[in-house]
Amino acid sequence: MAHTPRSKGRTGRPYRRAVERVKRRSQVCWLCNEAIDMSLKWPDPMSFSADHVESVKSLPPNDPKLTDPKNLMPAHLSCNSRRGDGSREAPRQLRWSRQWLV
pLDDT given at position 75 = 95
**For every residue of the chain, which 3-state class applies, written as one string?**
CCCCCCCCCCCCHHHHHHHHHHHHHCCECCCCCCECCCCCCCCCCCCEEEEECCCHHHCCCCCHHHHCHHHEEEEEHHHHHHHCCCCCCCCCCCCCHHHHCC
Report if pTM > 0.85: no
Domain spans, the chain? 13-85+93-100
**pLDDT of the residue at 90:** 58
Residue 102's pLDDT is what?
Answer: 47
CA–CA gap between residue 54 and residue 87 (Å, rounded): 9
Q: What is the pLDDT of residue 12?
A: 83
User: Distance between CA 11 and CA 25 in Å, rounded?
Assistant: 20
Give the per-residue pLDDT at 61: 78
pLDDT tens profile 21-80: 999 999 999 999 999 999 999 999 999 999 988 888 888 877 888 888 999 999 999 999
Distance CA 50, CA 41 (A): 13
